[in-house]
Amino acid sequence: MFSDDMRLIAREMVAPGKGILAADESTGTMEKRLHAVGLDSTEEVRRQYRELIVSTPGLGESISGVILFDETVRQESSAGVPLRKVAEENGILPGIKVDKGAKPLAGSDGEKITEGLDGLRDRLTEYAGMGMKFTKWRAVLDIGNGHPSDYAIHVNAHALARYAALSQEAGLVPMVEPEVLMDGDHSLEDAETATTRTLREVFEQLAKQGVELESMVLKPNMVVAGKECPRQPETEQVAEATVRTLRRTVPSAVPGIAFLSGGQGDEEATVNLNAINQLGPLPWQVTFSFGRGLLAPTLQEWVGRAENVDSAQRVLAHRARLNGAARQGRYDAELEHV
The catalytic residues are 177, 219
Mark residues 200-239: x for contact with ligand 5MM by CB under 6 A, - for none: ----------------------------------------
What are the DSSP calls for 20-80, one per residue?
A: EEE----HHHHHHHHHHTT----HHHHHHHHHHHHT-TTGGGTEEEEEE-HHHHT-B-TTS
Work out whether 292 is an interface residue with ligand 5MM (CB under 6 A): yes
**Could you give the angle at which helices 43-54 and 309-326 cross, rounded to 10 degrees?**
50
Binding pattern for the stretch 83-102 against ligand 5MM, x by CB under 6 A and - elsewhere? ------------------x-
| 178 forms part of the interface with ligand 5MM (CB under 6 A) | no
Among 7, 29, 41, 76, binds ligand 5MM (CB under 6 A): 29
Nearer to ligand 5MM, 26 or 232 (CB): 26
**Out of 220, 291, 297, 324, the residue judged to bind ligand 5MM by CB under 6 A:** 291
- Please state the φ and ψ torsions of residue 281, each to the nearest 5 degrees: -70, 145
Query: How far is the C-alpha of 321 from the C-alpha of 335, rounded, in Å?
Result: 10
Number of residue whose CB is nearest ligand 5MM: 291
Phi-psi domain of 105 (left: phi exceeds 0; alpha: psi -120 through 50; beta: other): beta
Q: Is 145 in contact with 109 (CB distance < 8 Å)? A: yes
Name the residue among 301, 335, 312 with its Cα closest to residue 56: 312
Least distance to ligand 5MM, CB of residue 274, Å: 16
Task: Assign 3-class secondary structure to 78-118.
Answer: CCCCEHHHHHHHCCCEEEEECCCCEEECCCCCCCEEECCCC
Q: Residue from 26, 232, 235, 278 that binds ligand 5MM (CB under 6 A)?
A: 26
Binder of ligand 5MM out of 293, 299, 316, 321 (CB under 6 A): 293
By beta-carbon proximity to ligand 5MM, the closer residue of 67 and 86 is: 67
Find the binder of ligand 5MM among 290, 309, 319, 325 (CB under 6 A).
Answer: 290
Phi, psi of 269 (to 5 degrees): -65, -40
Asked if 317 is part of the footprint of ligand 5MM (rule: CB under 6 A), the reply reads no
Q: Which of residues 54-83 bind ligand 5MM (CB under 6 A)?
A: 67
Distance of CA 74 to the CA centre of its chain: 21
Q: Which amino acid is at 287?
A: T
Q: How far is the CB of 2 from ligand 5MM (least distance, A)?
A: 27
- What residues make contact with ligand 5MM under the rule CB under 6 A? 22, 24-26, 29, 67, 101, 138, 179, 260-262, 290-293
